[in-house]
Structure 1
Amino acid sequence: MSTVSSTEYDPVLIAILQRQLDHISLQMGTIMIRTARSPIFSQSHDFSCFLSNADGETIAQADGLPIHSGSGGFAVRAVLRDFAGRIEPEDVFILSDPYAAGGNHLPDWTLIRPVFVDGELIGFCSNRAHQSDIGGGAAGTYNAKATEIFHEGIRLPVLKLIEKGQLRDDLWRLLLLNSRCPDLLEGDLGAMIGSTRIGAQRLADIVGQLGVKKGNAYLDALLDYGERRMRQAISELPSGTWEGSDVSDTDCFKIVDVETRVKLTIDGDTMTFDFAGTSPQIRGFKNSGIANTHSAVYCALSAFLDPDIPHNEGTYRCVKIIAPEGTTVNALAPAPMTMNTVYPAIDIMNACWGALAQADPERACAGWGKSVFGISSGKKPSGGVFVLYHWHGSSGGGAVKGRDGFPTTSHQMTLGGMFIPNIETYEQSYPMRVHRYQMRSDTGGAGQYRGGTGVDYVVDVLAGGEHLLRGEGARKPTGAGVNGGQWGAKGSIKAFDLGSGEELACPPYGVEEVEPLHLVIEASAGGGWGHPHLRDPDAVLRDVRDGVVSRQSALQTYGVEISADGKSVASTETRGKSLAATPHVQ
Structure 2
Amino acid sequence: MENKKVDPITMQVISGALDTIAEEMGHVLYRMSFSSIIRESQDLGAGLFDRNYQTICESESTPMHIGSIPAYLRGVEKTLQGGEWHEGDVVVHNHPYYGSSHTPDLAIIIPVFYEGELVGFSANTAHHIDIGAATPGLIIDVGDVYAEGMLFAGLKLYEKGKKNEGLEKMITANSRASQQLMRDIEAQVASAQLGVKRFTQLLDKYGMERTFTAIDQLIDYSEQMLRNKIAEIPDGEYQATGFLDDDGRNREERLPVVVTVKVQGDSVTVDLTGSAKQTPTAYNVPFEGSCKVAAFAGFRKLLLDASQLDVPIPSNEGSFRPINVVAPEGSIFNPIFPAAAEARFTQCNMMIDLIIKALSPVMPEKVIAGSSAAISFASYAGMKDDGDYWVFLEVNEGAYGGRPNSDGPDSIDNLMANTRNNPIEDLGMHLPMICDRYELRDDVMPGAGKHRGGIGVVKAQRVLSPGFITHESERHYHVPWGAFGGSDGAVGKCEIYNYDSQDTVNNMPSKFSGYATKANDVMAFYAPCGGGYGNPLERSPEQVREDVLDDFCTVQHAYEAYGVVLDKNLEIDRLATAARRSEMGA
Could you state the TM-score of these two structures normalised by the residue count of structure 2? 0.91
Partner of residue 222, structure 1: 218
Q: Which runs of 5+ in 2 are unaligned?
A: 306-311
What is the SS of the residue equivalent to 1:338? coil
**Partners of 1:568 and 1:120 in 2: CA distance:** 73
**Bigger mean CA offset, 102-111 vs 28-37:** 28-37
Q: Please, which of 249, 253, 260 is the counterpart of residue 249 of structure 2?
A: 253
Partner of residue 308, structure 2: none
Are residues 1:133 and 2:130 paired?
A: yes
Q: Give the C-alpha shift of residue 290 in structure 1.
A: 1.4
Partner of residue 494, structure 2: 493
**Partners of 1:559 and 1:131 in 2: CA distance:** 49
Q: Please, which of 531, 539, 545 is the counterpart of residue 541 of structure 1?
A: 545
Between the two proteins, what is the percent identity of the paired residues? 28
Q: Give the C-alpha shift of residue 422 in structure 1.
A: 1.7
Against the structure 1 CA distance between its residues 367 and 30, is the aligned structure 2 distance closer, same or farther, given a 3 Å change threshold? same
Partner of residue 321, structure 2: 317
The answer on whether the counterparts of 2:298 and 2:415 sit within 8 Å (CA) in structure 1 is no
The answer on whether the counterparts of 1:533 and 1:575 sit within 8 Å (CA) in structure 2 is no
**Partners of 1:121 and 1:19 in 2: CA distance:** 23
Are residues 1:482 and 2:483 paired?
A: yes
**Partners of 2:377 and 2:240 in 1: CA distance:** 27
Are residues 1:108 and 2:113 paired?
A: no
Partner of residue 13, structure 1: 10
For 1:425, give the aligned amino acid.
D
Partner of residue 276, structure 1: 273
* Count of residue correspondences: 570
Q: Please, which of 354, 360, 364 is the counterpart of residue 363 of structure 2?
A: 360
Partner of residue 446, structure 2: 444
What's the RMSD between the two structures over aligned residues?
A: 2.5
Partner of residue 397, structure 1: 400
Partner of residue 578, structure 2: 573
Q: How does 1:66-81 map to 2 (within 5 A)?
A: 66-81=63-78
Partner of residue 200, structure 1: 196
Are residues 1:33 and 2:36 paired?
A: no
The answer on whether the counterparts of 1:94 and 1:159 sit within 8 Å (CA) in structure 2 is yes
Q: Give the C-alpha shift of residue 456 in structure 1.
A: 2.7
**Partners of 2:53 and 2:487 in 1: CA distance:** 43
For 2:403, give the aligned amino acid.
V
**Partners of 1:439 and 1:513 in 2: CA distance:** 28
Partner of residue 468, structure 1: 470
**Partners of 1:164 and 1:567 in 2: CA distance:** 74
Are residues 1:236 and 2:237 paired?
A: no
Q: Give the C-alpha shift of residue 70 in structure 1.
A: 2.0
1:6-56 Cα offsets, whole Å, 9 max, x none, are x94423333333332222221112112221000111111111112212211
Q: Give the C-alpha shift of residue 518 in structure 1.
A: 2.4
What is the SS of the residue equivalent to 2:64? helix
What is the SS of the residue equivalent to 1:374? strand
Partner of residue 584, structure 1: none
Q: How does 1:27-426 map to 2 (within 5 A)?
A: 27-83=24-80, 86-99=84-97, 101-140=98-137, 142-254=138-250, 255-291=252-288, 292-307=290-305, 308-340=312-344, 342-369=345-372, 370-371=374-375, 374-381=378-385, 383-392=387-396, 394-410=397-413, 412-414=415-417, 417-426=418-427
**Partners of 1:483 and 1:427 in 2: CA distance:** 45
The answer on whether the counterparts of 1:444 and 1:451 sit within 8 Å (CA) in structure 2 is yes
Q: Give the C-alpha shift of residue 435 in structure 1.
A: 2.1
For 2:262, give the aligned amino acid.
T
Could you state the TM-score of these two structures normalised by the residue count of structure 1? 0.91
**Partners of 1:430 and 1:535 in 2: CA distance:** 45
**Partners of 1:377 and 1:399 in 2: CA distance:** 36
Q: Which runs of 5+ in 1 are unaligned?
A: 582-586
For 1:573, give the aligned amino acid.
A
What is the SS of the residue equivalent to 1:266? strand
The answer on whether the counterparts of 1:372 and 1:493 sit within 8 Å (CA) in structure 2 is no
**Bigger mean CA offset, 234-243 vs 13-22:** 13-22
**Partners of 2:431 and 2:365 in 1: CA distance:** 44
For 1:192, give the aligned amino acid.
Q
**Partners of 1:97 and 1:121 in 2: CA distance:** 24
**Partners of 2:89 and 2:436 in 1: CA distance:** 48
What is the SS of the residue equivalent to 1:256? coil
